[in-house]
Structure 1
Amino acid sequence: MSSGSISIFLMRGVAVKNEGSSSSRERILAAATKIAQAHGYNGLNFRELAEDVGIRAASIYHHFASKADLGAAVAKRYWEDSAATLDALLAGSPNPARALSQYPATFRTALERGNRICLCSFMAAESDDLPQVVMKEVRSFADVNVAWLSRVLAAAGIVRSEETEERARAIFAAVAGAQLVARSRSDIALYDALIESYRVAGLIPASTF
């Protein structure tokens, strides 16, 4: 084999290794997210996670140096995905009011998937036990939601500009709370009923079509 062929072979080997490494990291994150949504940060266990993914526990440390690093990565990925979902919701809606009326559906999805709740809401309840690096990412989830709601409320002209953040925080807290109550009863219909009560009260705009 010529030196040029050897170089190409080695380069391909590195590419395959990197692809495999990236795939393993994604599978770990996906599995860890499911576990955290059901059991929170304290439910993350490297040995059990490795069994779920089908790798050795030691392999997880290749991607995440500690449980705190894993928890932070999971929370960060979660709020980044949530931010992308909200941006897509606004972009695909005919007007801001319509996007706002659909906001509760983004939390309903977790309940539809095995009676789960928002991962960052779950972790926020564990704040006393969370490493700072994890708590930082958990808070980012709330910040992203409140910022999006504030922006959409302002665009829809539903409240005065100086009141948008206060209303945004109220909507975020109410929707997250409804999700938590519904999960505790394993009753998604209860979530829908609570959201409808928010609409009747005027906290969230009625659905527009």
Structure 2
Amino acid sequence: MAIATGDTRDRIMTVARLMVQDRGYGGLSFRDLASDVGIKSASIYHYFPTKGELGSALAARYTSDFLGYLDGLLADGLDQKTCIQKYTAVFGQTVRNENRMCLGGIMAAEFKELPEEVRIEVVKFGEANVGWLVKVLSLTQSGGGDAVKRQALAIFAAVEGAQLIARSRGDATIYDAIIETYRESALLP
């Protein structure tokens, strides 16, 4: 999986993201990362002096990129149902991509073992998802009060959970079946 072009910092982050989505934060090895990027292990420390700094940067970029995509859906004027379908499809695509997990979800599963700077970014990822879902749910529900926030949190938790179960079974079609069940039971609009 060696990547030989582009900015070294970006290459490190790209390969590290894929590693964490596959192995979890605990499975992120600077030695393996350096080998896959095609640099010496010591070179990673030039860009990221600690694993925590790398993990924090990964989670922050993932949140920013994901929120950019989600906000684009709203900017395109899509209706609530289409926004939610595209939201769940992104999580499904991740599990279809070599049985990987959402970076925020896999890091959340290791939350107690994460350095504080990584924990902060993982919490921000969850808050960003719930905040976006509140906006989408508010397209058809007035107020945006506690009930909408609880529903948004339930949707986020359910989608992350569906991805985790599908990954544990090594079968992305399980994710799709769970999401369809959520729609049938009205958890998802």
TM over 0.5: yes
Aligned length: 183
Question: For the residues of structure 1 that align with 2:143 and 2:89, how far apart are their CA atoms?
Answer: 25
User: How far did 1:112 drift?
Assistant: 1.7
- Report which of the two has the higher share of helix: 1
Structure 1 residue 161 corresponds to structure 2 residue 113:
no
User: How far did 1:91 drift?
Assistant: 2.5
2:64 to 63, 80, 103: 80
Higher Cα radius of gyration: 1
1:44-73 Cα distance to aligned partner (Å, 9 max, x none): 111111011000111111111111111111
CA contact (8 A) 1:79 1:144 kept: yes
1:115 to 91, 99, 119: 99
CA contact (8 A) 1:93 1:99 kept: no
CA contact (8 A) 1:95 1:156 kept: no
Stretches of structure 1 lacking an aligned partner (at least 5 in a row): 1-21
2:131 to 141, 147, 155: 147
Structure 1 residue 48 corresponds to structure 2 residue 27:
no
1:124 to 92, 108, 114: 108
Q: Secondary structure at the match of 1:47?
A: helix
Question: For the residues of structure 2 that align with 1:120 and 1:101, how far apart are their CA atoms?
Answer: 19
Amino acid at match of 1:48: D
User: How far did 1:75 drift?
Assistant: 1.0
Q: TM-score, normalised by structure 1?
A: 0.83
Q: Secondary structure at the match of 1:161?
A: coil
User: How far did 1:102 drift?
Assistant: 2.5
Question: For the residues of structure 2 that align with 1:109 and 1:132, how far apart are their CA atoms?
Answer: 29
1:128-157 Cα distance to aligned partner (Å, 9 max, x none): 111000000111110110000001101222
User: How far did 1:160 drift?
Assistant: 5.3
Question: For the residues of structure 1 that align with 2:171 and 2:108, how far apart are their CA atoms?
Answer: 22
1:92 to 76, 83, 95: 76
Question: For the residues of structure 2 that align with 1:96 and 1:165, how far apart are their CA atoms?
Answer: 15
Amino acid at match of 1:203: L
Structure 1 residue 28 corresponds to structure 2 residue 12:
yes
Deviates more, 1:97-106 or 1:80-89: 97-106
Amino acid at match of 2:144: S
Question: For the residues of structure 2 that align with 1:57 and 1:92, how far apart are their CA atoms?
Answer: 43
User: How far did 1:122 drift?
Assistant: 0.7
CA contact (8 A) 1:100 1:153 kept: no
1:183 to 164, 167, 174: 167
Match of 1:104 in 2: 88
RMSD over aligned Cα, in angstroms? 1.4
Question: For the residues of structure 1 that align with 2:73 and 2:36, how far apart are their CA atoms?
Answer: 32
Q: Secondary structure at the match of 1:174?
A: helix
